[in-house]
């Protein structure tokens, strides 16, 4: 019997599998397809990402360095309000490569990571979980003391464990232009209902364009308008769901959720790579697979760390729906040098940021 079965080998799942294996646990992880595919997530992350990777990862994965953002109330060509730091504030990375890198670290630590395996059922019992999986050699059932659901916004594990859905699922669309662009600003357009659109230069890898909004708000049409406004031809498109708002509980008797499955994401950007891996570290520290009661400690730990940031992120997101004159006035008043951390909305109230705003 395994200590943990991990479903999903994205950043949160691979991080948990690696750290649990390093602690001496017997870990089996399943990925439905190939690790890193299909792409459905932006590659714009804070520089904290390198604290979760292995040696030389930066040389392998870094595509561009970003120092600031231009905020637009309208679409391409509209007036921009610049926010910046004097040093690098974020990185653009090979997003698919990140998944492969993290899964490789999990394997190196001793976790058994299997691709092309789809979980079809989870039977949660008093002393174990039985996980039914369809793989290249047919259907098998594996037993473990606990199961980690790291299988994305439409998590099968979450459904099987009868846990609540995220508060909201946004519809996100990504597109990629192959023309190189090594400039150091991203563009953010507050033109999508209740969310935003973006343009991210990826160095020699080209440019990423994206837009997210609640389903039913013509996300595809609005994305086409964004691309037409920039006058580019895309060589690749993809889409996916973005979970916003964690449910009241992400644990059951012998199961727990991580990453997008738990909606451990930033409400104001939809990003969840760092939050998911941070929560994975909490899970490894707190969960004892022989003690279901330890799941409560994980629930407390990740919420103590991230709930304030998520709550403040919801407040920031409300600004996306303010009347345009109010948005313009606010952006004009606050633009300039900043001292915030892109993963921590609480840094808006930091001494560093307030000093820069009022200097």
* All residues at 6 or more sequence positions from 73 whose CB lies less than 8 Å from its CB, including other chains: 79, 190, 191, 324, 327, 328, 331
- Is residue 55 in some structural domain? no
Q: Are residues 32 and 106 in the same domain?
A: yes
Count of Cβ atoms closer than 10 Å to residue 186 Cβ: 22
Q: What is the mean pLDDT of residues 332-343?
A: 87
Q: Are residues 178 and 214 in the same domain?
A: yes
Task: Note the pLDDT tens digit of each residue in 124-151.
Answer: 999 999 999 999 999 999 999 999 999 9
Q: Are residues 205 and 354 in the same domain?
A: yes
* All residues at 6 or more sequence positions from 192 whose CB lies less than 8 Å from its CB, including other chains: 211, 212, 213, 217, 219, 222
Report whether pLDDT(358) > 70.
Answer: no
Q: Are residues 267 and 354 in the same domain?
A: no
Average pLDDT, the chain: 94
- Between the CA atoms of 218, 274, 2 and 295, what dihedral angle is there, to the nearest 10 degrees? -90
Domains: count for the chain? 2
3-class DSSP state of 296? helix
- Is residue 253 in some structural domain? yes
pLDDT tier at 338, thresholds 50, 70, 90: confident
Count of Cβ atoms closer than 10 Å to residue 292 Cβ: 18
- Is residue 49 in some structural domain? no
Q: What is the mean pLDDT of residues 286-313?
A: 97
Q: Which residue has the tokens 């991080």?
A: 15
- Is residue 48 in some structural domain? no
pLDDT tier at 356, thresholds 50, 70, 90: low
Q: Are residues 223 and 281 in the same domain?
A: no
**pLDDT value, residue 63:** 97
Contact 6, 148 (CB under 8 A): yes
Q: Which CA distances in Å does 176 have to 134, 234, 304?
A: 33, 5, 37
Q: Are residues 276 and 173 in the same domain?
A: no
pLDDT tier at 354, thresholds 50, 70, 90: very low
Contact 65, 91 (CB under 8 A): yes
- Is residue 212 in some structural domain? yes
Q: Are residues 196 and 240 in the same domain?
A: yes
Contact 178, 204 (CB under 8 A): no
User: What angle, 0 to 180 degrees and rounded to 10, lies between the N-to-C axes of helices 11-22 and 95-109?
Assistant: 20
Q: Are residues 184 and 114 in the same domain?
A: no
Q: Are residues 21 and 125 in the same domain?
A: yes
Q: Which residue has the tokens 């279901």?
A: 292
- Is residue 16 in some structural domain? yes
Tell me the H-state helices in 210-272: 219-230
Q: Are residues 80 and 206 in the same domain?
A: yes
- Is residue 327 in some structural domain? yes
The Cα–Cα gap between 89 and 353 comes to: 13
CATH number for position 137: 3.50.50.60
The Cα–Cα gap between 295 and 252 comes to: 8
* All residues at 6 or more sequence positions from 86 whose CB lies less than 8 Å from its CB, including other chains: 67, 337
Contact 4, 22 (CB under 8 A): no
| E strand or H helix at 213 | strand 207-213
* All residues at 6 or more sequence positions from 271 whose CB lies less than 8 Å from its CB, including other chains: 41, 42, 44, 45, 265, 343
- Is residue 295 in some structural domain? yes
Task: Note the pLDDT tens digit of each residue in 38-64.
Answer: 777 889 999 999 999 998 999 999 999
Q: What percent of the chain has pLDDT over 70?
A: 97
Q: Are residues 148 and 178 in the same domain?
A: no
Report whether pLDDT(322) > 90.
Answer: yes
pLDDT tier at 352, thresholds 50, 70, 90: low
Q: Are residues 220 and 338 in the same domain?
A: yes
Domain extent, residue 188, equals 63-90+168-244+322-359
CATH number for position 224: 3.30.9
């Amino acid at each position: 019997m395994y200590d943990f079965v991990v479903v999903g080998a994205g950043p949160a799942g691979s991080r948990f599998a690696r750290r649990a294996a390093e602690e001496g646990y017997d870990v089996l992880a399943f990925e439905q397809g190939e690790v890193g595919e299909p792409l459905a997530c932006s590659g714009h992350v804070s520089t904290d990402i390198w604290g979760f990777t292995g040696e030389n990862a930066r040389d392998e994965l870094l595509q561009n360095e970003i120092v600031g953002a231009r905020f637009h109330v309208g679409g391409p060509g509209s007036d921009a309000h610049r926010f910046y730091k004097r040093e690098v504030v974020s990185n653009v990375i090979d997003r698919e490569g990140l998944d492969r890198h993290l899964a490789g670290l999990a394997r190196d630590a001793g976790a058994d990571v299997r691709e092309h395996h789809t979980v079809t059922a989870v039977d949660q019992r008093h002393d174990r979980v039985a996980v039914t999986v369809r793989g290249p050699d047919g259907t098998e059932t594996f037993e473990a003391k606990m199961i980690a659901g790291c299988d994305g916004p439409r998590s099968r594990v979450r459904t099987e464990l009868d846990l609540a859905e995220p508060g909201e699922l946004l519809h996100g669309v990504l597109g990629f232009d192959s023309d190189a662009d090594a400039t150091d600003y991203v563009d953010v357009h507050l033109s999508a209902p209740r969310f935003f659109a973006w343009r991210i230069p990826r160095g020699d890898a080209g440019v990423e364009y994206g837009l997210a909004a609640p389903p039913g708000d013509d996300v595809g049409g609005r994305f086409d308008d964004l691309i037409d406004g920039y006058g580019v031809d895309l060589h690749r498109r993809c889409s996916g769901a973005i979970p916003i708002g964690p449910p009241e509980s992400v644990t059951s008797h012998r199961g727990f959720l991580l990453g997008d499955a738990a909606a451990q994401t930033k409400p104001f950007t939809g990003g969840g790579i760092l939050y998911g891996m941070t929560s994975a570290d909490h899970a490894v520290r707190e969960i004892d697979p022989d003690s279901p009661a330890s799941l409560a400690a994980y629930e407390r730990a990740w919420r103590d760390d991230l709930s304030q940031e998520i709550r403040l992120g919801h407040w920031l997101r409300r600004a996306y729906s303010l009347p345009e004159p109010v948005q313009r006035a606010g952006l004009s008043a606050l633009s300039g040098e900043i001292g915030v951390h892109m993963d921590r909305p609480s840094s808006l109230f930091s001494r560093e940021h307030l000093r820069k705003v009022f200097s």
